[in-house]
Amino acid sequence: MPDENNQPLNGPPPLPDAGLSGFMTAFGLSNELQKRTVSGLVVAAIALAMVYVHPLAFAALAFVLAALMSWEWGRMVRGDGIDTATVVHVVAVLAAAVLTVMGLAGLGVAAAAIGAITVGSLLIGSGKAPLSFAGVLYTALPVVALCWLRGDEPLGFLAAVFVLLTVVVTDTAAFAAGRSIGGPKLWPAISPNKTWAGLIGGVSAAALSGALFSFLTHSGSAIWLAILGLLLGLVAQGGDLAESALKREFDLKDTSDLIPGHGGAMDRLDGVVTASIAAALLAFAIDAYAPARALLYGS
């Protein structure tokens, strides 16, 4: 017998809507988590495709994301609008990307440094110079690091994917472990939602994914990549905490609302920033002439 909404009073509950949204609803994911999941899958698919297609395609993607982060940094530190410092900031990132793709990563780093000094000089006396200076390095150096690794054929694709995959696995596992296990907070004054369980779960998953990466791709050493995954996972979590501290300084929840359910580009890429720089420095220390191989094999 139907009720006033023409729904049967007895019988099985209605089936969820078809499609990805209905599937996630059936598994109890909230609307916010659905947004995070869909946005994350779209961003990951685009990133993987650009990494695979060609080093130039990946460099273009890296520049676009870094330019968005540059805008978010200026908006956070200096307020709304695009000022001269933001323009110089983006130009410095572009120069760093172009020089690195041309095989001149050292000059790419120099372009980032010159851009940082220029931006800092434009704002001397305003109290915003130090953070504006740091912002150029924060967005430009990861572009140099990732493009340098990706451009080292034939292993550049695998090296770049390993760095990005490690950050994604760390973030996802840390979120899942923190939500499901809970427990003591990691640093409540900086990030009230992060827990020790999340940190341990995240870096453990990164170590496991490193070993699996070696087996699935038949490249690198499983033991080395497990250790590297753990180290990069720790560095990525450190980057996440550093960005949280910066946002708390400016009383912000997100750096922008560019990505539905995720906030801004900086909110999603904070771990990539620190992990990519750490990976590039390690590869440089091992073998600056073959950075991709150095990162994957440790020799």
Q: What is the pLDDT of residues 1-11, one digit of tens each?
A: 444 444 444 54
- Domain ranges in the chain are 54-151, 155-299
pTM: 0.85
Report pLDDT digits (tens) over 56-112.
989 999 999 999 999 999 999 998 778 999 999 999 999 999 999 999 999 999 999
The neighbour count for residue 198, using CB atoms within 10 Å, is: 27
Supply the pLDDT for residue 27: 42
What's the CA gap between 92 and 112, in Å, rounded?
6
The closest alpha carbon to 151, from 39, 293, 266, belongs to 293
Residues whose CB falls within 8 Å of the CB of residue 90, separated by 6 or more in sequence, listed in order: 67, 70, 71
The closest alpha carbon to 150, from 164, 137, 169, 171, belongs to 164
Q: Which residues pair with 164 in a beta bridge?
A: none
Task: Give the pLDDT band (50/70/90) at residue 123.
Answer: very high
Report pLDDT digits (tens) over 236-294.
999 999 999 998 888 888 888 776 666 788 988 999 999 999 999 999 999 999 999 99
The closest alpha carbon to 230, from 149, 173, 292, belongs to 173
What's the CA gap between 75 and 67, in Å, rounded?
12
In SS3 terms, 143-185 reads as HHHHHHHHCCCCCHHHHHHHHHHHHHHHHHHHHHHHHHHCCCE
Mean pLDDT score of the chain:
86
Task: Give the pLDDT band (50/70/90) at residue 55.
Answer: confident
47 vs 42, 121, 146, 253, CA distance in Å? 9, 34, 12, 25
Report pLDDT digits (tens) over 156-174.
999 999 999 999 899 888 8
Amino acid 249 reads E
Residue 209, classified by CB atoms within 10 Å of its CB into exposed (0-12), middle (13-18) or buried (19+), is: buried
Name the E strands within 49-197. 185-187, 191-195
Supply the pLDDT for residue 189: 82
